[in-house]
Chains A and B, each alone.
Chain A
Amino acid sequence: MKRYDLIVVGAGPAGLSAAVEAAKYGLKVVVFDENANPGGQLFKQVHKFFGSKEHKAKIRGFRIGSQLLEEANNLGVEVVLNATVAGLFQDKEITVRIKDSIQHYKGDAILVATGAAENMVPFKGWTLPGVIGAGAAQTMMNLHGVVPGQKILMLGSGNVGLVVSYQLLQAGCEVVALVDAAPKIGGYGVHAAKLARTGVPFYLSHTIIKAEGTDCVTGVTIAEVDKTWKTIPGTAKSLAVDTICLAVGLSPMAQLLKMAGCIMEDNPKKGGQVPVCNAYGETSLRGVFVAGDVSGVEEASSAMIEGRIAGIAAAEYLGYIDKAVLTEVAEALESALSSLRQGMFAVENRGKNIEKTDEGYVVSQHLLKKGYFQDAEVEKYPGVTRQPGVHAVIECSQNIPCNPCQDACPRHCIKIGDKITSLPVVDETANCSGCGMCVAACSGQAIFLVNEGYEAGYASITIPYEFLPLPGEGDRGWALDRGGSKVCAAEVVKVQTAPVFDHTSLLTIKVPVAMAMKARFFKEDNCHA
């Protein structure tokens, strides 16, 4: 039987970060993952991540995964893929299924970082081919280059539902409806807004009555629900779709820990049954650690920090470092962790009705129900100013752990401050050059450049654009408002792409000046507009 100092189960951000940290202190580490690709959830994510620079914000998910893997490889960590850990026993022995064989390994310490599994929700017809999990949609389109369908209904308005819907649009699918039984959008407003402006309709307080079709999905019936989640008679409507995508939450995959005899707790705020653990991620079994979504569903940024803490703690447990070193390093990491865990989407705020931001700005109910602001609401936020020349207009209105916009601006026009969840503020005294770095850096695609003095009677608007085909200069079409409705004809006057923008193109369109604070997306139409 092979022996290691530390055995890590799961090569997601938590597991890889732990492996890297432990290897730095000299531990002999192996990582097993049942997937053919390392990186866990990250591998399927093509969007720019939230968080701060230290936690790889602004970098696209799949690149974070490969960076972590490279670090691990450089430190001599063994990463074994296509290897499912089937058993974990009290004496820190594990059984691993590789191809058709079962192998045994022993670790002096174990870290379980198995992440979370998707929840499902039954409705009439839910087993029909064409009903798929959101993760399956991502696997099909982002790993295998095959779209799951042409016309899609997404169920679930949390970040996963919103992000995957956007990825479906990028893959060339039509998202016919985004449906959620809750009365409010569960994910970040900025993620909802980038869907809404392309014209995706949101149906909050709606649920699926049934999937239609005999051999596969050919349509879906949805209906409105009241406060008690009962369907309201007479509200049913049929939509033609070929795919129903489910994004109804994640639950920690903690079976291995339960099997090993760790003390577990049911904690709805953490997404279900999780092992009880201390601040270093150590469970009730000495030397068995957890990190990432398996110990409570959160984000990749927190998973990476938890992983590092657990990796260092394992080094201390095995005597590679002193307790004092652990306390010192862990303290710094924990303070980073708690700064990420602030804001409206913090675990303790789940399910609460938050009406104002920390700064006292009123939260837009229209944003929470329809996915976009009403015109009059936008201008009160501190990122939205009216200035004579070109300047950034930041439509970011919630306290979320994110700040790449602040770091991006070479002229210091954008201020968030030390508290990462604060709203971005545009400093009117700073002098914006119109370079567009902020537009490309914003993970939420919530920053636009507006120049109301572009030309007599016309304003220019620069928008982030991540679709194909990319329009060219001189192309004509329609300017769409935040809700995706056509508001006026528009002409593309500039298209910028650059390696620093990392596949986000900047499209500058010209619109009548009265539309400067309305036009937020462009739809090409050279024949009519």
Chain B
Amino acid sequence: MNSRIKEHPILGKIEKGRRVTFSHDGNIIEGFEGEPISAALKAAGVMVHRHTQKYGAPRGIFCAIGRCTDCVMVVDGKPNIRTCITPLAEGMIVETQYGVSAKSTNKAEGMA
């Protein structure tokens, strides 16, 4: 499945920054520098960005303009980063957020 539009009938070729790699829950993924992290994840087929604190329910992109906070993830160790308005950079470490932290980085949380 390819979600990137190669050529658009009205917009033509969509201009993108340089190709970069970043990690998502340990997997290396490609994206374009400067595009929202969420766009790169979407293009790679990632749907779930976080699980809610209370019920562990999955959340993903909803508003895409930084208003709803459904898309927040742990980015470079910092939780609650709105991935739909945060530009992608080379080597970023992006992790699915569980409640308010990443599963892998916070053992205490994982045991609770």
Query: Using a CB–CB distance below 8 Å, which chain A residues touch chain B?
Result: 34-36, 46, 60, 117-118, 127-133, 135-136, 139-142, 144-150, 170-172, 214-216, 466-468, 470, 503
Given known A136-B64, A136-B65, A468-B9, contact A145–B58 (CB-CB < 8 A): no
Report B52-102 residues with CB < 8 Å from chain A CB.
57-67, 70, 84-85
Can you list 22 A-B contacts with CB-CB less than 8 angstroms, sorted by A residue number?
Answer: A118-B63, A127-B57, A127-B59, A129-B47, A130-B47, A130-B60, A135-B64, A135-B65, A136-B63, A139-B84, A140-B42, A145-B4, A145-B11, A146-B4, A146-B5, A147-B4, A148-B61, A170-B9, A171-B8, A216-B47, A216-B60, A468-B9
How would you classify the secondary structure of chain A's contact residues: helix, strand, loop or mixed?
loop
Number of residue pairs across A and B with beta carbons under 8 Å? 98
Hey, which chain B residues are within 8 Å of A131, CB to CB? 62
**Residue contact B10 to A129, C-beta cutoff 8 Å:** no
Hey, which chain B residues are within 8 Å of A140, CB to CB? 39, 42, 61, 64
- What CA separation (Å) do A170 and B7 show in the bound complex? 10
**Residue contact B49 to A145, C-beta cutoff 8 Å:** no
Hey, which chain A residues are within 8 Å of B65, CB to CB? 35, 135-136, 139
- What CA separation (Å) do A60 and B12 show in the bound complex? 14
Minimum C-beta distance from B15 to chain A (A): 9
Q: For the complex, count residues of B whose C-beta is within 8 A of A.
A: 33
How would you classify the secondary structure of chain B's contact residues: helix, strand, loop or mixed?
loop
Residue of A nearest to B46 (CB): A129
Residue of B nearest to A46 (CB): B10
- What CA separation (Å) do A503 and B16 show in the bound complex? 21
Residue of B nearest to A149 (CB): B3
Residue of A nearest to B66 (CB): A34
- What CA separation (Å) do A467 and B16 show in the bound complex? 22
**Residue contact A148 to B5, C-beta cutoff 8 Å:** no
Contact of A503 among B5, B9, B35, B85 (CB under 8 A): B9
Type the 1/0 row for B14-44, where 1 means its CB is closer than 8 Å to any CB of A: 1010000000000000000001100100110
**Residue contact B48 to A147, C-beta cutoff 8 Å:** no
